[in-house]
Structure 1
Amino acid sequence: MSARALLPDLSPWRSSRDFRLLWSAGLITVFGSFLTFVALPLQLKELTGSAVAVGALGVVELGPLIVFGLYGGALADAVDRRKLILWSEAALGVVALGLLANTLLPHPMVWPLYAAAALTSALTGVQRPALDAIVPRIVAHDQLSAAAALNALRWQAGGVLGPALAGLLIAYAGLETAYAIDVATFAGSVALGWRIAPSPAAHDARPPSLRGIAEGARYAWSRRELLGTYTIDVAAMLFAFPLALFPFLADRLDAPWSLGLMYAALPFGSMLVSATSGWTSRVHRHGLAVVLAALGWGAAVTAAGFMDNVWLVLLFLTVSGSCDMVSGIFRSTMWNQTIPDELRGRLAGIELLSFSAGPQLGQMRAGGMASLTSVRASVWAGGLMCVAAVGLLALALPKLVTYDSRTNEHARAMRARKKEAVDAVGRDGREA
């Protein structure tokens, strides 16, 4: 395979103006958001001096993300997705402006930090399903794997550069500068997003409701291959997400200097896959790829727990991040290629629920097991449990393993619908 074949597939970028705009707006937003991601807990630490107070941010954020993620999914199927993205983006900018105003007070208050965290989580829950659901409308069906990889690369670039710059900005220019830049990035992303074509709901779309959310859940349950993507992701994060143990693991290895590298290893591994993702567009057995990647994630975490050498630990953590990215690309491809447009928002809300709940539960699992056994035992045992759970799920859900985008009835139906829509636009253009 040539080096050119490994480079990211840029076909969505070249062929879709709206994808270019959405991608660029997202890059600006994620860069600014990661500045606040670092600044907010640091400011809370400075104001309270309490690790418990900082840890409570996770509790404040999880509930709104779950509730509004499900509601946001239903909303994305009922309104213009472009408008939903823009208004929630503008609201997130107002929250960042509130953080800036609080920081500029002679004596900044604590409660606005928790309020901002909760509001940001709720608005993210509202916006994220619409962001996911709009992609199949603006990207060709056979380019969705490439689009997933490019979107992931955008997040990873922001995730690496944003925190690194945040440390320098806060150290030399203060918290208010980080918040001010975040406000500016939201303004820039809204300006770009405004140029995206409208993305109205279907003419027979119903208002968001509990019944509509339940309809989406029933559809997900009826599709065993989709159910497999959700459950495997939750199992992988529940059993083998060791992030909470990194500070303790670095101490056990007599390498406290390695803590930052441990945190960077997972996103770095993901970035390596995104930067060499050209091969993903040639894969059709997406379900099998998800299973193998999840098994690789668990095996790599297991190996990291057994290693005594810190550099080998970092190596296996990087491998685990790469496996997680492979799984993420093909999960996203399966969702985007097979879920009907009228259900896409609600299913994206369910995806957000599985995406957010797994790591939170995994943190609890890792910390609890470490208190009962040891830090390293919690890491390697979690990896082994992940491998066992993924293996059992693959056996219980054979439709996931046998999924093939070339023959799957749902993927074929979506291809046909996309072709009909393109042909209709072409006919209208010729008639005009």
Structure 2
Amino acid sequence: MSLLVDARPLRSSPPFRRVWAGTALSTLGGQLAVVAVLHQTWELTASPVAVGAIGLAQAVPMVVFGIVGGALADAVDRRRLVLGTTLGQMVAAGLLAAQAFAGLDSLAVLLGLVALQSACGALGAPARRTFAARLLPADQVGAGLALFNLGFQVSMLVGPAIAGVVAAAWGVGACYAVDTLTFVAALYGVARLPALPPDGTVTRPGLAAVVAGWRFIAGRPALAGAFLTDLIATVLAMPIALFPVLNADRFGGDPQTLGLFLSAIAVGGIVAGLASGPVTRAHRLGLVMLAAAGVWGVALAAFGMAPALWQALGCLAVAGAADTVSVISRGALVQLATPDAYRGRVSAVEDIVGMAGPYLGNFRAGLVAGATTAGFAAISGGLLCVLGVAAVAMATPALRRPGIAARPPSRKEME
């Protein structure tokens, strides 16, 4: 069995290949926009509160429109939904470029456009998550998700560096302009897809459809256990809020060291993505996910104890690799364990859990560090994560079984 990333989806499915390439380019452009928004907000206000408001402008639309997008994805042609929402993101990126070049210097306009782009992305994200399962055979779905994740990790590593160069040479408006142009590739990839109507009976994407989706998840232990594992790993052990304090306490507060913390996680993720062949071919996806979440907790507890910089960076690299393995295995499990009639709504929950967990986890880390020390917050969070994952593993036998496959929803669930 090859240890390298499984590239079969790129060879066997031209539609998937186009979507993957477009998504990778637009994700890279999005990283330029992230840096530009942070820089522009700081230049306008010099206020950490205003910088923090960026997260709020992104999070609220993600939750609200993510729920709506999940119901829509199970009621309308997913290709058309993603095409429309991607076009909306492109328009928002173009308006961000326009306000920067025009020198409006308005925080309200900036945050409003960030919220608009976030809303458009959240509305289409659940439908987009179903593409791998619809375009690829079942034995390649995990590989397809690994390729998407690898593109994301590479963008996270190189995007901010490119943004710094572009912003320094031509200003933040140029970053927004590049982001706008990269959406052309994303639009092309989606436009070339065949029609992708959902295989379900949802005709009105209202509250009843949303509730039915949550009820479906509650009735599938493998799905509920997968989402609970993700929440445990992020809420209890997310370390990013601790980086500045640990950097100041142990490594002199050098900003370059702070940057190395984030880079170490990304490097670990890229290495794991490039060596993801065995993960994507695994028959016990739930067991792989549980093991990876446990390693994530152990690595972050060790990071909290690391006295030397090289040890701290090594622990973060291991944590980044474990996180990538967990994301890939959980994503494949969720898509394969969910009938197409419910994939949009289940994917919406996956998006919300994936977004809310890190925010709550960083908040928890800050509270614990404030009451004790940053080192204790990292160690205790990592160990609690391991205990929580072990409890989920013991309480959810479905996650330990091989071959998790979707079964058709019952008549009651479809009502």
Query: TM-score with structure 2 length normalisation?
Result: 0.95
What is residue 278 of structure 1 aligned with on the other side?
A: 277
What is residue 329 of structure 2 aligned with on the other side?
A: 330
What is residue 395 of structure 1 aligned with on the other side?
A: 394
Q: Which amino acid aligns with 1:227?
A: A
* Cα separation, 2, equivalents of 1:152 and 1:282: 16
What is residue 413 of structure 2 aligned with on the other side?
A: none
What is residue 402 of structure 2 aligned with on the other side?
A: 404
* Cα separation, 1, equivalents of 2:408 and 2:111: 45
* Cα separation, 2, equivalents of 1:254 and 1:157: 27
What is residue 310 of structure 2 aligned with on the other side?
A: 311
What is residue 418 of structure 1 aligned with on the other side?
A: none
Equivalent runs, 1:118-137 vs 2, <5 Å? 118-137=115-134
Q: Which amino acid aligns with 2:327?
A: G
* Cα separation, 1, equivalents of 2:5 and 2:360: 33
Structure 1: any 5+ residue segments left out of the alignment?
A: 415-432
Q: Which amino acid aligns with 2:402?
A: D
The answer to whether the 8 Å contact 2:97/2:176 transfers is yes
1:134 CA displacement: 2.2
Q: Kindly tell me: are residues 107 and 216 of structure 1, through their superposed partners in 2, closer, same or farther at Cα, counting changes over 3 Å? A: closer
* Alignment partner of 1:176 is 2:173: yes
Q: Kindly tell me: are residues 253 and 84 of structure 1, through their superposed partners in 2, closer, same or farther at Cα, counting changes over 3 Å? A: same
* Alignment partner of 1:211 is 2:218: no
Structure 2: any 5+ residue segments left out of the alignment?
A: 410-415
Q: How many residues end up aligned between the 2 structures?
A: 407
What is residue 157 of structure 1 aligned with on the other side?
A: 154
* Cα separation, 2, equivalents of 1:126 and 1:215: 19
* Cα separation, 2, equivalents of 1:138 and 1:120: 26
Query: TM-score with structure 1 length normalisation?
Result: 0.91
Q: Kindly tell me: are residues 34 and 388 of structure 1, through their superposed partners in 2, closer, same or farther at Cα, counting changes over 3 Å? A: same
Q: 2:40 is paired with a residue of what secondary structure?
A: helix
* Cα separation, 2, equivalents of 1:282 and 1:344: 21
Equivalent runs, 1:40-55 vs 2, <5 Å? 40-55=37-52
Cα distance per residue 1:182-211 (max 9 Å; x no partner): 111112321232111121234743121110
1:396 CA displacement: 2.0
1:265 CA displacement: 1.4
Cα distance per residue 1:191-239 (max 9 Å; x no partner): 2321111212347431211100111111100010111100010010001
Q: 1:253 is paired with a residue of what secondary structure?
A: helix
Q: 1:197 is paired with a residue of what secondary structure?
A: coil
1:154 CA displacement: 1.1
* Cα separation, 2, equivalents of 1:199 and 1:162: 31
* Cα separation, 2, equivalents of 1:189 and 1:28: 7
Q: Kindly tell me: are residues 75 and 411 of structure 1, through their superposed partners in 2, closer, same or farther at Cα, counting changes over 3 Å? A: closer
* Alignment partner of 1:190 is 2:187: yes
Q: 1:8 is paired with a residue of what secondary structure?
A: coil
* Cα separation, 2, equivalents of 1:87 and 1:107: 28
* Aligned residues with identical type, % of pairs: 37
* Alignment partner of 1:7 is 2:20: no
What is residue 348 of structure 1 aligned with on the other side?
A: 347
What is residue 427 of structure 1 aligned with on the other side?
A: none
1:95 CA displacement: 0.7
Q: Which amino acid aligns with 2:345?
A: R
